[in-house]
Structure formats: C-alpha cells, structure tokens
Structure 1
C-alpha cells in the first residue's frame, strides 16, 4: 500500500476536495482499492461521504487506543473500491492525549495501525489539517509521498518552507518520505493566474506538477451533492484531477523503475 499525504499549512487551497477526488480517481479510473483517511478535526471529508458522527470509532481511536483494530473504524463508501476512515472533533482531544502519553511512541502510531491493513489496499490518501500537530506528524511518518495543493496568490507559498522543514524532521522516523510535488488548484485562465503559474515554474525550487486544477462551479456543487467530480456530469476540474493522478502515477513508475532520486526529493 502506497500512502499519500495531502497537506498545506495554508487554508482555502482545496485540500479536502483534492483528497476526495484524487482518492476517487485512483479507485474509479485505475481500479485501485483506496483507503481515504480524514485527518482533520473538522471532519469535512467524513461529512462529504455522510459518515461523520460520534457513535462509532474514528481516527481518534486509532491514535489513542492501544492495540486498536483499525478495521473496525473503516467505512465503505457508495463508490466501488473507495473506503474511508472518518474523523470528528475527538481528534482535538486525541492530539492532546498523544502528547501526554509518554508510555509508548507518539509519532508512529498511525503507521503501526496501517500495517494491519497494508496488504488490503493499493493506496491510502490522507486528508490532513492545515496544521502541524501530532495527528499530522503521525500521517507524515506513515506516508510515502506528500502532495501540496496551492492556490496562486501573493501568499501561495506561505507555510511551505515550514512544511518542508517538518518533512525533513519527520525523516528521523520515515527516511523515505518525499515531497512529490505541488499542484495548482482553482486555476483561472486570466493574466494573473498565467503569470503566477509561470513564475512558480521558473523561479521557485519546489517541485510542481504540470497539471493544474481549473476553477469551476461544479466543485462547489459536488460538495452539496456528496459526489466526487468523476461521479457527476463532465467537468473540467474532474478531468484535471484525472490527469493529475495519471501524472502522479507516471512519476511513481519512473522513480520505482530508476530506483534512485525522485521527482520531489528534497
């Protein structure tokens, strides 16, 4: 199972929408069995798939309960091959409990839990909070790749330097973690966005995917419908997420074939 963390310390960049649609594209277009983990106390990914609540186990239980059976918290979605581990506000309490519990390792709990199911899924996609807390650190320690959605504005890379530093720190526990790349979301074909995109590609050192996710009203509509973009009528953003996943899989294939430095090695 290859695990991908979707994260940006800046809000409003379509992080949750990206996590949902990347996971769904892997399942729907590539026939993969995918586990989508909601790792944000707001629980928006869980709400999208109508599994948000407090009566059943969530990722908070996975992170705080010793020898917890992670399978008991995973829910099946209505979309073939796509499963979800939900979150709720209990994750806020879980972050505090992890810090207070020094009786066992704090940073490797999610990785250890996912080892229970590593042969049952092809991919795991983690939707992370825009924060660096213990649950996010656990996600990075459990991940192979990091993908960073960015929106073109004057604050595009706010927090990215800190995120890169955190990735380097996490390598003490996960030496194979790679910043696979950033990808532009909510892209509009106007002068500002075109110039901004060109600047990012020519004047920054961060790896950047060729695919951009175009801004469309279908994205907002999909959140009300609870349907991933590729499960609704044709949309430009849906096509873009499909293209992004193909590009990502191509990068993975190249790196695995070469067995050497990868696209986003930092």
Structure 2
C-alpha cells in the first residue's frame, strides 16, 4: 500500500477537494483499492464519503490506541474506497498524544494502518492545515507528499514551512518520505495565475506539477452535493484535470497501470 499525503499549512487551497478526487479517480479510473484517511477534525472528507459520525470510532481512536484500524475503517458510499473518518475528537486526541510520553508519539498512525497494508493499493491522507501530532503521524506513515497551492498574494504562506516539515520528518522518522511537488488549484488562466505558475515552475524547490486544476463553479457545487467532481460533473474541466493529475502522480511513482491522459492538450 502506497501512502500519499495531501497537505499545506494554509487553508482554503483545495486539500480536501484534491484528496477526495484523487481517491475517486484512482479507484474508479485506475481500478485500485483505495483507503482514504480524514486527518482533519473538520471531517469534510468523511462527509464526502458518507462516513462522518460521532457514533463510530474515528482516526482519533487510532491516535490514542483506543481502537484497532479494522474497528475504525468504514465502507464509503463509493465502490473501491474505504474511509477512516475524523471528527472534532481529533482535537483532544492530539493533546492526549502530546501528553503521553510513555509511548511512541510520531508513529502511531503508521503502526495502525500497516495492519491493513495488504488490503489496499493506495492510502490517501487529507491533512489539516497544521503541524500537529496527527499530521506528523501522517507524514511518518507516508511515501509521498503533494502540496496544493492557490495562486494569490498569499500563495507561499505555509508552503516553505510545509516543505521543511516534510524534510524534518523524513530525516527523523521516515527516510522514504518524498515531496513530489506542488499542484496549482483553482487555476483561472489570467495574468496573475500565469505569472504565479511561471514563478513556481522557475523555483526548483516547489517542484511544480504539470497539471493545473482549473477553476469551475462545478467544484463548489460538488462540495454542497458531497460528491467527487467526477461523479458530480464528469465532463467539466476540473474533473478532467483531476484525471490528469492522478495519471501524472501514478506515472511519477512508476505505477504501470497509469491510464492515458484525457482532456486539455
């Protein structure tokens, strides 16, 4: 099971949208078994997949060791995708882990999901805009990191810090962790976006991915419908872009099952 982290210290850049849609494309287009982990107390990814609840164990229970991973995993409303949900209890779980110095703090999620590694091809983790213990745990459990960015005057807020955090986790807890690059979301093709993309591409440390995710009102609609964009509006540009992004990532890591790209030339 290959573990992909979607993260950025800045909110509102499309982390959840990217996580949800990559999971859906990898499961439905590339026919892979996908586990998605909601690692944000807001629980938006859980809501997308019909798994948000306070009556069922969540990722917080994995962090505190209260439940096993098989007790926490829920079938999603979409075939091929299972979900480890989150809710506001993750806030107290992060505090509990910090207080518990008698047990390893940074590798709890890794230990938990390793138990089901043979059951899935990919695990995608949607992280909170934070460097808390659950995010550190996600990075310590991961193989790859993609950072969504939105081109505006605050584009670089949090990106450099996130890259540094990835480097620190790799050096101290997980030598296989690899920063794969930044992906531009809400791309409009105007002068600001074109210049911002050119700057990101010029700066080697950001490793800008070739695929940009186009802005469309359909993406906002999909959040209200709680459906991946491919399920909500499969012919819109953003749906096609997420298919291209999935293929770019799978090709990058050498997955031979990456399907041909579709959409814009």
Is 1:244 equivalent to 2:241 in the alignment? no
Partner Cα distance (2:216, 2:254) in 1: 30
Partner of residue 90, structure 1: 89
Q: Deviations over 1:185-240 (max 9, x none)?
A: 00002111112111211245311100000000110111111211111332110100
Residue of structure 2 equivalent to 1:36: 36
Task: Compute the displacement of 1:78 (Å).
Answer: 2.0
**Aligned match of 1:12:** 12
CA distance, structure 2, for counterparts of residue 25 and residue 11 of structure 1: 23
Q: Do 2:49 and 2:78's aligned partners in 1 also have CA atoms closer than 8 Å?
A: no
Q: Deviations over 1:144-199 (max 9, x none)?
A: 00000000112111112211221122121101111011000000021111121112
Unaligned 5+ runs, structure 2: 256-265
Aligned 1:163-182 pairs, distance under 5 A: 163-171=162-170, 172-182=172-182
Stretch moving more, 9-18 or 227-236: 227-236
Q: Which residue of 2 is the match for residue 261 of structure 1?
A: none
Q: Distance in 1 between matches of 2:45 and 2:224?
A: 12
Is it true that 1:114 corresponds to 2:113 in the alignment? yes
Paired residue secondary structure (2:244): helix
Q: Secondary structure at the match of 2:145?
A: strand
Q: CA RMSD in A?
A: 1.2
Runs of 4+ in 1 over 3 A off after TM superposition: none
Deviation at 1:50, TM superposition (A): 2.5
- Write the distance in 1 (CA, Å) between the matches of 2:75 and 2:242: 22
Deviates more, 1:50-59 or 1:131-140: 50-59
1:1-266 alignment, distance < 5 Å: 1-65=1-65, 68-171=67-170, 172-233=172-233, 234-253=235-254
Q: What is the aligned length?
A: 253
Separation (CA, whole Å) in 1 of partners of 2:214 and 2:227? 18
3-state SS, counterpart of residue 118 of structure 2: coil
The CA distance in 2 between the partners of 1:81 and 1:105, in whole Å, is 32
- In the TM superposition, residue 123 of structure 1 has moved relative to its aligned partner by 0.2
Please, what TM-score do these two structures have when normalized by structure 2? 0.93
Distance 2:252 2:4 in 1: 13
> Quick one: distance in 2 between partners of 1:74 and 1:56?
10
